[in-house]
Amino acid sequence: MANILEVKDLCKTYVIEKRQNNVLKNVNFSVEEGDMVAIMGPSGSGKSTLLYAVSGMDVPTSGTVNFDGNNLMKMKPNELSDVRLDKMGFIFQQMYMMKNLTILDNIVLPAVESKKSKENKADKVKRAEELMRKLSIIDVADNDINEVSGGQLQRACICRSMINNPKILFADEPTGALNRTSSMEVMEELVKLNDEGTTIMMVTHDAKVAARCKRVLYIVDGNIKGEYVSPQDANLSQADKERKLNTWLMDLGW
């Protein structure tokens, strides 16, 4: 599989009152198409900063981020916006949505804005409804965002992130604000999407969630301290996978 994302010598430094704070220090990794990567690490280790830097939402201090063959750091703001709109999808820990729009309108909005496909608006709406049906939230399509549960809202966010058929999905603790049942439902959907070919990169604190990914990058103080590849043994149960990952994490000081 070809690499969809290549990160080389990525650094991010914040200057707070003349004092430099190196959040990311020469980070190197790559993500193949169809991969599902979890980024773990203690609080303040730079997980979210890394996610935002590689997704073009934040500007790194140095290094390169090649996405789909293009260096994001050389792109102009508008080009970066186009990449995020057409080729990337985002899911956040808090289910951020436009307050005055219904669930369906929130999902359709990026599709209508995108010039990627030649579909008309009706087709885009139809596609949004299909996605909602797939994620079992079609019943709340016309609801306001305050009329649905957290799990439904996060699934709506997944629909929105998928509406333009992105090449990669970035998720920042997508289950962080959900209860156990909702978390599992959302992870099921993400795994399904990955199985269908969508590349996913997510930040998580939850080993149970990370165990559903194919790879785990462990980051400490802005450096990748280790990489875990989930065993592809079909006979291995999910519980076994979680146990193995936990053992690896414990070795790294988790």
Partner 1 sequence: MYFNILKRDLKRKKTMNVILLLFTMLASMFVSSGINNVVTVMNGTDYYLDKAGVGDFVVITQNGDGGVEDIIEDSSNVTSYKMEDAYWGSIDNIEVDDEQLDLKSNTIVFQELSDNGITLYQTDNEELTEVKPGEVYVTAGVLKRNELEVGDELELDYYGVENTFTIAGEIKDALLGSDMMGNTRFIFSHEDYEEFEKEELKPMSGCMYNIKSDHIAELQGEIAKGENILFSGSRSMIKMSYVMEMIVAMIVLVLSACLCIVSFVLLKFVITFTINEEFREIGVMKAIGIHNFKIRSIYLTKYFVMSVVGGVIGLFMGIPFGNMLIASVSEKMVLSNDYGIYLNVVGALIVVFVMTGFAYLCTGKVKKSTPVDAIRNGATGERYGKKGKYSLKKTHFSNAFYMAVNDVVSAPRRFMTIIFSFFICSVFVFGLVEVTDTMLSDRLITTFGKKSDAYITSSKLLRMDMISEEGNEDVKTMLSDVEEDLKELGMPGKTNFEVWYKYNVTFDGRTTSICCQQNKYTDTTDYDYIEGSAPQNDKEIAITKQIAEDIGARIGDTVTIDFGSEKKECMVVAYFQTMNQLGSVIRLHQDAPTNMIYANAMMSIQIEFDDEPNAKVIDDRIEELRDFYDTEDVYNAAGFCNDCMKVAGTMQSVQYLLLAITCIVVILVTILMERSFISDETSQIALLKAIGFKDRFIIRWQVYRFLLVAVITEILAVIFTYPITKLWCDPIWSMMGASDVKYYFNPLSLCLVYPGIILLINLITVWLTAGVTKKITCNDVGNVE
Q: Is 16 in the site for partner 1 (CB under 8 A)?
A: no
- Cα separation, 223 vs 218, whole angstroms: 8
Q: Is 113 in the site for partner 1 (CB under 8 A)?
A: yes
Q: Is 122 in the site for partner 1 (CB under 8 A)?
A: yes
Q: Is 74 exposed, middle or buried (CB count within 10 Å of its CB: 0-12, 13-18, 19+)?
A: exposed
CB of 165 to partner 1, least distance (A): 13
- Cα separation, 132 vs 223, whole angstroms: 38
User: Nearer Cβ to partner 1, position 97 or 186?
Assistant: 97
CB of 241 to partner 1, least distance (A): 31
Q: Is 114 in the site for partner 1 (CB under 8 A)?
A: yes
131-170 footprint of partner 1 as x/- string (CB under 8 A): -----------x-xxx-------------xx---------
The correct pick among 9, 44, 58, 195 for binding partner 1 (CB under 8 A) is: 58
Q: Are 157 and 173 in contact (CB under 8 A)?
A: no
Is 88 in a helix, a strand, or coil? strand
Q: Is 84 in the site for partner 1 (CB under 8 A)?
A: yes
Touching partner 1, residues 90-109 (CB under 8 A): 90, 92, 94, 96-102, 104-105, 108-109
Q: Could you tell me how many helices (H) and strands (E) the chain has, helices first? A: 8, 10
Q: Please, which residues have CB within 8 angstroms of residue 61's CB and are 6 or more apart in sequence? A: 11, 12, 13, 24
